[in-house]
Chain A
Amino acid sequence: MTAVTYNWDFSFLWMYRWLLLKGLGFTIVYTVGSIVFGLVVGLLVGLLRLSKSWLVNFPLVAYIEAFRCTPLLVQIIWFYYAFPVLVGVDIPAHAAGMLVLSLYTGAFYAEIFRGGVISIERGQWDAARAIGMRHIQVLRRVILPQAVKRMIPPFINQSIIQLKNTSLVSTIAVADLLYQGQLITSATYRPLETYTTVAIIYFAILFPLTVGAQVVERRLQKSD
């Protein structure tokens, strides 16, 4: 058995620091962008899902389940390579990436919203209606303020996962952090240092966020 004697050397990466930073910039833009668009989609779909109408619900459930029950990687590839064939319009990689990431996370957000709203006891609806509030007022004044509190922890979790999910857009040549890592690797033939560094960057951003999420969660519990 020969001992693995690998000579670690990270120094060459200094040369590529701007490339990595640019990649990180893309990663953050895709994360924030898809969270914002996903939030809009999720809020709309989640609230519409509260409707009792089968006609409203069926397409929304179809959307949610289509995105929840297929791998994100498959969705990205499908939207980039297959969808343009279907509609006859070329979609640039960055648009396809943003679109899929937003729709994907929107499906999860929708379920978080719906779950938050239906977790509020029926008695709250009764009491608010009994003093003459209209449906929209009940939601705004009574249900949502309570539901949002319950939605925050899963929302933060989903958003943290979303930052990691963005790495998948590197497969369609969107220049995110992982993609830049691949470029550097192919130029330097030093995958160990490069991918370790990439991993450390992801970790350095996400770890404080998960710690922050736990703090928020504990505060919310206390205020109950």
Chain B
Amino acid sequence: MSAAGSPPMIEVSDLWKAFGSLQVLKGISLEVCKGSAVALIGPSGSGKSTLLRCINLLEMPERGRVRVGDQIIDCARGKLPPDKELASFRARTGMVFQLFNLFPHMTALQNVSAGPLFVKKLPAGEAKELAMALLAKVDLADKAHAYPSHLSGGQRQRVAIARALAMNPEVLLFDEVTSALDPELVGEVLDVIRSLVEEGMTMVLVTHEMAFAHEVAKTVAFISDGAIVEIGTPRDVLEQPQNPRTQAFLARFHSFARTFAGTT
């Protein structure tokens, strides 16, 4: 999938992960080229969120290799690399969560500036300036001093995106970021992600928004039972799936099917 000449930005090879006796990932390999978006779709419990969490090592795979940019982590038997190495690895990737996970004791501004301030050790003034700029980017400059409990779900998620961007990551990981939102708030979050795609941000999205995946992703991977069953362009995977499991899964998204009927 990588463009000729340049190596992919993310390279996951032969990743295995189990929780107790439950094997969640069964030898997954995936490449994401710089500036492209990959959407991971699949039934719940298929392992797509776990795969995402393995890419920034929030979960430690017991076997396999993860490379982001020029930093490689080789996993053997789930043994954790030193805390410092893990932290620096994670700082290269930004992650946005389904339940926002904003820090409730910090304002929107403090949430966004926490990374630059405490991890990158930027001077307070610079960190604040950066955070303000990012809040403006997600259209929340006027909410800079609000605590998360005073923000709507959509606003919280946009703050969370700004917080991830504040570390100037090479890659963004989105973990079902609209699943916990009221339907009328989904659009504002997707708009922000869309603009990031247009800016050429490399990203991996776990999503149930098939129409959105179709629109922004360069590659769609259907994951089922801990393995990538089908991978290709959105057109191939979402409109003309070859694998019966992909077909069965997508059949449930009738509205999607209607939306794209006739576009082939």
Contact = CB atoms under 8 A, between A and B. Distances in A.
Interface of A: 121, 123-124, 126-135, 137, 141-142, 145-146, 149, 224
A140 B90 CA distance: 18
Nearest to A142: B103
B174 to A, nearest CB: 12
Contact of B115 (A126, A131, A149, A224): A131
A132 B94 CA distance: 9
A126 B87 contact: no
A130 B103 contact: no
A131 B127 CA distance: 14
Contacts of A146: 103-105
23 contacts: A121-B101, A123-B99, A126-B97, A126-B101, A127-B95, A127-B163, A128-B114, A129-B87, A130-B94, A131-B115, A131-B163, A131-B166, A132-B91, A132-B115, A133-B87, A133-B118, A134-B83, A134-B84, A137-B119, A141-B114, A141-B118, A142-B103, A224-B149
Interface of B: 53, 56, 58, 83-84, 86-88, 90-91, 93-95, 97, 99, 101-105, 114-115, 118-119, 149, 160, 163-164, 166-167
Nearest to B91: A132
Given A135-B83, A137-B118, A137-B119, A129 B90 contact: yes
Given A131-B114, A133-B87, A145-B105, 16 more contacts: A126-B53, A126-B58, A126-B95, A126-B101, A127-B95, A129-B86, A130-B58, A130-B164, A131-B91, A131-B167, A135-B83, A141-B114, A141-B118, A142-B103, A142-B114, A146-B104
Closest 8 interchain pairs by CB? Answer: A132-B91, A127-B101, A131-B115, A123-B101, A130-B95, A132-B119, A134-B87, A132-B87
Contacts of B119: 131-133, 137
Nearest to A143: B103
Of the candidates A121, A133, A137, A145, the one having the most CB atoms from chain B within 10 angstroms of its own CB is A133
Contacts of B164: 130-131
B81 to A, nearest CB: 12
A62 B34 CA distance: 53
A123 B105 CA distance: 14
Contacts of B163: 127, 131
Nearest to B117: A141
The dominant DSSP class at the A interface is helix
Contacts of B58: 126, 129-130
Nearest to B149: A224
B95 A132 contact: no
Contacts of B84: 134
Given A137-B118, A137-B119, A141-B118, A132 B101 contact: no
A121 B105 CA distance: 13
B171 to A, nearest CB: 12
Contacts of A131: 90-91, 94, 114-115, 119, 163-164, 166-167
A124 B87 contact: no
A134 B105 CA distance: 19
Contacts of A141: 114, 118
A128 B56 CA distance: 12
A170 B114 CA distance: 52
A132 B166 CA distance: 11
Among B102, B118, B167, which residue has the most Cβ atoms of chain A within 10 A? B118
A123 B160 CA distance: 12
Contacts of A133: 87, 115, 118-119
A20 B187 CA distance: 72
A224 B91 CA distance: 29
A132 B167 CA distance: 9
B97 to A, nearest CB: 6
Nearest to B104: A146
A129 to B, nearest CB: 6
Contacts of B83: 134-135
A126 B40 CA distance: 20
Contacts of A124: 101, 103
A125 to B, nearest CB: 9
A134 B88 CA distance: 9
Contact of A132 (B90, B97, B103, B104): B90
A146 B118 CA distance: 17
A139 to B, nearest CB: 12
Contact of A130 (B88, B93, B102, B105): B93
A121 B226 CA distance: 26
